[in-house]
Amino acid sequence: MLFAPDTEVALRSVVNLINTAANGADSLASVEDLDAFLDAEEFTGSRTKSTAELSSIKRLRSALGALWSSDEDTAAKSVNKLLADAKALPQLVKHDHWDWHLHATTPEAPLADRMGTEAAMAIIDVIRSKEMERLRVCAADDCDAVVLDLSRNRSKLYCDTGNCANRAHVAAYRARKAAEGE
């Protein structure tokens, strides 16, 4: 295990959030889209279900996207800003079907603060473990989705948003076959 289970869950949620805007698409176009996203990611706590809340999540998505491909020092500054803005106070909690894990905001805090803080807490583990290279952008030339590489040998190159890996492997196969035919 590379990171604590709650850290991996949070990092995957960050990937899923950032990738809602991958490749020119926006799958968080409405409050209903945000509801569906939050249900899928199992985010709990208070909600306003407003367009202002949706806008705050889109701003968070943009900030996390920039953080994802930043260097360690910039990432640390971004994490500290997210935590300071949310007035984070880490504490162990147990709720719903989750065992003990860290929260640093109350369930009543604004959604963007809760999501940003959870992301920041997870990225703290990445930075402290000197594992920033596990946060990547998809290797496909036509894709800008992000990738979380939790593989043992640090070999994950392609995102999970589409079929980038399959397309790359088919193209490589065809190139090999074409070269053999010469």
Using H for helix, E for strand and C for coil, what is the string for the chain?
CCCCHHHHHHHHHHHHHHHHHHHHCCCCCCHHHHHHHHHHHCCCCCCCCCHHHHHHHHHHHHHHHHHHCCCHHHHHHHHHHHHHHCCCCCEEEEECCEEEEEECCCCCCCHHHHHHHHHHHHHHHHHHCCCHHHEEECCCCCCCCEEECCCCCCCCCCCCCCCHHHHHHHHHHHHHHHHHCC
User: In this predicted structure, what is the pLDDT of residue 182?
Assistant: 67
- CA-based torsion, 62, 130, 76, 119: positive or negative: positive
Give the global pTM. 0.88
Give the list of residues 6+ apart from residue 134 with CB closer than 8 angstroms, or none.
Answer: 2, 126, 148, 149, 150, 154
Q: What is the pLDDT of residues 6-15, one digit of tens each?
A: 999 999 999 9
Residue with tokens 């596990």: 134
> Strand pairing partners for 101?
93
- CA-based torsion, 25, 8, 5, 91: positive or negative: negative
- CA-based torsion, 107, 46, 68, 167: positive or negative: positive
User: In this predicted structure, what is the pLDDT of residue 1?
Assistant: 54
What stretches in the chain show pLDDT beneath 70? 1, 182
